[in-house]
């Protein structure tokens, strides 16, 4: 999860459940806070061979995000910031940053101005036009966009007639959302010139290839790691084998190479 200004304990349990071809979570952005992360966790991450640290940042106001970025600016060993635009803005009635173009532009522009490192904006999929929101982030100064975050979902226990998650709704992820995520990555990549990082249900190398063909420059893996902690390593190795088997010399040549017309 991302880093906030202060530590967060997250939501009450149950806050994660399995669904058909996926999972739902309402963790509540539990995290240790940016300063303990810098002093306790970042030094360990920096010792991992070949590790590249991208710090995910969020806040409930723009000022929150700026404070987190300011703290991270003084830390060593971070390559990039990923700004979570799917949080509710408490200073604007709880509206999610990433669903309002004006709010997203302001958030991106102010965070980019404060950041001493490249800034990637993680977009909410719960919008009418993901291409428009990607362009707003680009216009605000984002160096890249990542998508998709989870879809707002609801699961009900038919015996108790109560929500299966204590928070009532949660974020749906996993293979069930992959075709939608691939479509959104394609739309975003056509709307912007900056790199698009794709995610949403990637569990094998072929899934990563599909996202890249749709326009992704790189991919992220999340839910698959719950079933297999070595999923990222396995997918990366599988991608190398896939490229060799299909005579793909440079993986970057896959980006946007789908024959969609």
Residues designated catalytic = 87
Question: What Cα–Cα distance (Å) separates residue 42 from each residue in 55, 125, 223?
Answer: 10, 30, 23
CB 5 within 8 A of CB 34: yes
Beta strands 22-25 and 169-173, pairing class: antiparallel
Locate 159 and state its tokens: 């015996």
3-state secondary structure of 165: coil
Gap between the Cα atoms of 261 and 256, Å rounded: 12
Q: Using CA atoms in the order 234, 240, 241, 242, what is the torsion angle rounded to 10 degrees?
A: 100
CB 111 within 8 A of CB 120: no
| 8 DSSP 8-state letter | B
Beta strands 151-154 and 218-219, pairing class: unpaired
Beta strands 169-173 and 151-154, pairing class: antiparallel
């Amino acid at each position: 999860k991302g880093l906030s200004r202060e530590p967060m304990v997250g939501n009450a349990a149950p806050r994660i459940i399995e669904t058909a071809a996926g999972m739902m979570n309402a963790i509540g952005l539990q995290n240790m806070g940016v300063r303990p992360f810098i002093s306790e966790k970042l030094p360990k991450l920096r010792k991992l061979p070949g590790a590249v640290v991208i710090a995910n940042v969020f806040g409930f106001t723009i000022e929150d995000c700026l404070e987190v970025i300011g703290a991270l600016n003084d830390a060593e060993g971070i390559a990039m910031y990923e700004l979570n635009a799917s949080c509710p803005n408490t200073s604007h009635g709880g509206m999610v940053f990433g669903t309002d173009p004006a709010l997203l532009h302001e958030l991106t522009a102010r965070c980019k101005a404060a950041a001493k490192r490249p800034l990637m904006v993680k977009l909410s999929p719960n919008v009418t036009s993901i291409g428009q929101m990607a362009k707003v982030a680009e216009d605000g100064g984002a160096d890249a966009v990542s998508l998709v975050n989870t879809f707002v979902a609801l699961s009900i226990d038919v015996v108790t007639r109560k929500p299966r998650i204590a928070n009532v709704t949660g974020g749906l992820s996993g293979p069930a959302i992959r075709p939608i995520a691939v479509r959104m990555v394609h739309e975003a990549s056509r709307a912007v010139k900056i790199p698009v990082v794709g995610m949403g249900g990637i569990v094998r190398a072929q899934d990563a290839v599909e996202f890249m063909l749709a326009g992704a420059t790189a991919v992220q893996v999340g839910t698959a790691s719950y079933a297999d902690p070595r999923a990222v390593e396995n997918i990366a190795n599988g991608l190398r084998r896939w490229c060799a088997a299909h005579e793909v010399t440079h993986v970057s040549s896959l980006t946007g190479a789908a024959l969609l017309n």
